[in-house]
Structures are given as C-alpha cells and as structure tokens.
Amino acid sequence: MKKIYALTVLGPDRVGIVSKITSHLAREKINIADSSMTRLRREFAMILLLKSPIMLDEKFSKKLKKQLPDLSFFLRELNPDELKKSPEPKKILNIVLYGADRIGLVYRLTSTLARKNINIINLQTKVLDLRPPTYLLILEAELPAGLSLEKVKFFFKPLSARLKVNLTVSESEATKL
Amino acid sequence: MAIRKIITLPDSRLKLKARPVITITKKIQQTILDLIETLNHYPGVGIAAPQIAELEQIILVDATKSRRPCQNHGQLIMINPQIVFAVGEITFREGCLSIPDYSAFIKRKDKIVVKFLKPDGQKEIITATGFESVVIQHEIDHLNGILFIDRIQSISELIPRR
C-alpha cells in the first residue's frame, strides 16, 4: 500500500526549483497528489502531498537538500485519519478587508472567526504601496451550518468600525470543477 | 473651476454611497466643473464625484482620452446614472486614480444602456459598448462605494506598476 507524505519546501526563490524537486520525485517513482506553490516577495513556498511506493525517511529530505542546499525541506507521514478527504464546504464566506496598515489586523479578524467556529480555507494578505501603506486581506472560510451570512455580517460590523477598516463579507456556493 | 485633490485608499470616504442629485444647484454645477478640470489634469478616462470627496451621484467619463481608438460619446457628464440594461461580458485591465500604481483584470458587462440627467437637467439615455461601457460601470461603482479591488477574488490578481 502506498504511503502518503506531506513535503514542505521553503527558501529563496529562483528559476528551476520546482523542476529539480519534481525530477527527483519522478526518478524515485513518487507520485504527486495535490500540491500548492506560491511566492511571497522573493520567498518560495510549496507543499506537496506525495504518494510513495516505499517508505520515505530523512534520507529522502537529505537527497533533496543536497541538490538545493539553500532550501528547507520538511517531510511528514500522514496518518489514515488525515487522509480522509475533508467534506466540501457547502457555502463559502468571502471576506475582503482593507485599511491603513497596522499591527493586529489579521489577529483581530481571525480571532473573531475562530470564536464563531468559522474555519479559514484560504488567506492572502498584501501591503499595498500607497500613502499611507494599505493592508489588503482576502480570505475564504467555511460557513458553518446554522450560521447565516447576515449573522456573520452583524458581528463583523462593530469590528470593522473599531479597526477603522473596510470589511466586506459575501457568500458564494462551492463550485465543483 | 479647480483641480481638486483625488482621495486615495485607504480613505474610508471612498466606501460611502453617494446621494442622488435632487436639484442641480450652483454647488452641483461647481462640482461638475471641478470634475472636468480635475480629470483634464490627471491621466484618467473617468472620475466620480466621491473621488473628490463630493458625495453626489455625478460621474464624468471621457473615452476620447483612451490611448486606443474606441467607440464613444465624447465627454459625458452623467448625473444620477442608472444602468437599465446590460448584456455580454468583457474583461479589461482597470486602474483607478484612487488606487494609484495598481490595476487588475475585471469582468464587466460589454453593452449597457444607461439613463441619466445631463447638466442642464434633461433626461438622456445612451447605449455604451466596450471600453466606454467599462469606464461607466467603474465610475458608477464609485457612487456605490465599490472599488475595483472589491471585485478581485485573489491578491495575485492585483498588478503593481513596474
């Protein structure tokens, strides 16, 4: 039975990182299931779910490190519970926040979500180079059953006023592709 | 007439809804003149009154300022503009005088029918297509406190000016 691992890769970005990692995986006959890669300014970040016919250990990470010495590799085997697919969210909350940049914006927003048992599934932030610097946050979260969009809007209204930011909350149906 | 300061993000006044114009007063006429002079001064093709901190439903669109020739009605001063019909889809890279140095590809209606009042108070209905239609929709968004960044789904869609 194939084992499943999560491989996380971090480090300074340059041309050819994905190519080197994936060629190594192909040579080892390791299949890439899901993967996600992004770049924050010059920092490369990638997470891959790997299906391997053999057990992977530290030697595997070391081989990758030898080829890409300035990157960090972290390998973790997933247990059967983690392999269960999370149910597709029926309704997705879309939250857009922007306002003058200052410490604590993400914390205050996300702690409000956590208190309401709303799970974040995607989060992106960026400081826009405006005067003054403007913080832009876009997130997607699962809208739990029994919680309406109107209720979410209601408890975010005072937060938006307190933080002096624009906060837009909308809802979308999960699209099956 | 005066070149007015354009308010930019994160100024929260950009998120307010503009009031409909009931009577075309001298103040409204002054706002229109200021919009004309301000748009002439800046490299934009449209401007809405909230961008100069006037919370009135007035927009100015001038698609003749487009770098590429396009179908247009010349300089349009639109009071209380309302889209009464919209069809088709068009995606355009939009920038905004209130969000300098950023742009994004935004999906809009390709063809719109807009009714509005002209500065002399007369009712007018026009059909706009393509680029001019996009500019009108962008400026009407301003009257409702909507910026183009409210229409993006992901930060990666934002294109900084290089």
pLDDT tens across A138-162, in order? 999 999 888 999 999 998 989 999 9
Q: For residues B94 and B148, give the distance between their C-alpha atoms in angstroms, rounded to a whole number.
A: 7
CA distance B142 to chain A (A): 14
Mean pLDDT (whole number) for B44-62: 97
The pLDDT mean for chain A works out to: 90
Closest-CA residue to B48 (of B155, B161, B151, B148): B148
The Cα A71–Cα A64 span in angstroms is 9
- Do A27 and A77 reside in the same domain of the chain? yes
> Are A99 and B10 an interchain contact pair (Cβ–Cβ within 8 Å)?
yes
Q: B155 vs A168: CB contact, 8 Å cut-off? A: no
DSSP at A101: -
Distance from CA of B134 to the nearest CA of A (A): 23
Per-residue pLDDT reduced to its tens digit, A36-81? 999 998 999 999 999 999 999 999 999 999 999 999 999 999 987 8
Same-domain status, A52 and A79: yes
Same domain, A146 and A99: yes
Work out how many domains chain A is built from and give that number: 2
**For residue A134, what are the domain limits?**
91-173
Average pLDDT for chain B: 94
Mean pLDDT, rounded, for B108-135: 97
Residues B60-80 have pLDDT tens digits of: 999 988 878 889 889 999 999
**Residue B155: predicted pLDDT:** 87
**Minimal CA separation from B69 to chain A, in Å:** 31
Same domain, A9 and A49: yes
Residue B28 to residue B56: CA distance in whole angstroms: 8
- Whether residue B8 lies within 8 A of chain A, CB to CB, comes out as yes
- What per-residue confidence (pLDDT) applies to A88? 67
- Quick one: A96 and A169 in the same domain? yes
A160 by DSSP, 3-state: which? helix
In the listed set A60, A83, A106, which residue is the last one of a domain according to the structure?
A: A83
How far from A121 is each of A35, A46, A139, A140, CA to CA, in Å? 15, 16, 8, 6
Say what the pLDDT of residue A85 is. 67
Nearest by CB to A166, from B15, B152, B154: name it: B15
Lookup: tokens for A84: 């269960």
Q: What percentage of chain B reaches a pLDDT higher than 70?
A: 99
The CATH number assigned to the domain holding A165 equals 3.30.70.260
> Is A35 an 8 Å CB contact of chain B?
no
Q: Tell me the residue type at A45.
A: A
A77 & A134 share domain? no
Q: What are phi and psi of A119, to 5 degrees?
A: -90, 130
- What's this model's pTM, rounded to 2 decimal places? 0.80
